[in-house]
Structure 1
Amino acid sequence: MPSLQETRAVVTLAPAKPTGLADLGAPLVDAIAVKKGRAHEFPQLLADGAIGRRFQDLRVIGIKTEEGGVTSAKFFVQFEVFGDNTAAPTNGVGFEAALFAGSQQLASLSSSSLFLPYANFWYPNRFVFEVPAEDFDRADRLEFVAKPEEVRVV
């Protein structure tokens, strides 16, 4: 069975204005802090070098805000994924991500599956991860790892 190779993308995070957050439902209080970063498009190759999956518009949005008197920090990882003539297995492996401050890893984030029910179609995916407020403050990049996975060629 064909296998996808591990693929990495790095998203640099920078302080940003709290605009464009309406669909995330974040409380827009005076003390809100936002970090954003983006990677446009990258392929995940099969072991033979052919493109097996594509990722597009990888956006990372970090929000530190207060709700009900409690401060929380969350990172949203959003992207579109396309099964490029490949179908994902029923129980896929998902992705991993690591939040960094310089060379120090702050947090490990992971999902056990992607929303990719059929080949040859773009599907939006959105995940949210809560982190300590101190990690939010220090974070300057996120490393996204599309994990190796066996797929079916269609």
Structure 2
Amino acid sequence: MKTTLQFSIESLLFGIENSKGSIEQVLFAGKMAECEGMPNCNRLGKLTFNDFTVNQAWAGAVSLDETLILGYDGWNDSVLHVCIRSVRSAVRIATGSFPGREIVMYEEYREAILLNKLSDKQIEEVFKELWNNMDLIASTQIFVEGGILK
């Protein structure tokens, strides 16, 4: 019986003018952005799957930490990269660009030794959800006025 991919997307940045986030994830995103030739990284999120085996290494192999989405969202276009971050390395899964909605899938992901990998169709599902809900990985500002969150 085939199951449907279920996942959640969590923004890892906060703040508008000077976005902040977890040091490890922000440093990783900065390095990936530089490697990918992006002007900066203003979108960062974490993908969590209902199936914990997705993008996890085989027992005894190098431990992989998390599946991240990082990218640049400009006025007329955006580029998003989905990758797996580990302590000492990264595996690029795919890159998607908007408004054209083109997706480039990477061979390094197809060749990675993982318990369970996303199919091309599942990767397309992730990008479709992201493009339809870019606010899921946008940095946000919390305003506090008189002790009341706004």
TM score, norm. by length of structure 1: 0.36
Looking at secondary structure, tell me which structure has more strand per residue: 1
Structure of greater relative contact order (alpha carbons < 8 Å, 6+ residues apart) = 1
Looking at secondary structure, tell me which structure has more helix per residue: 2
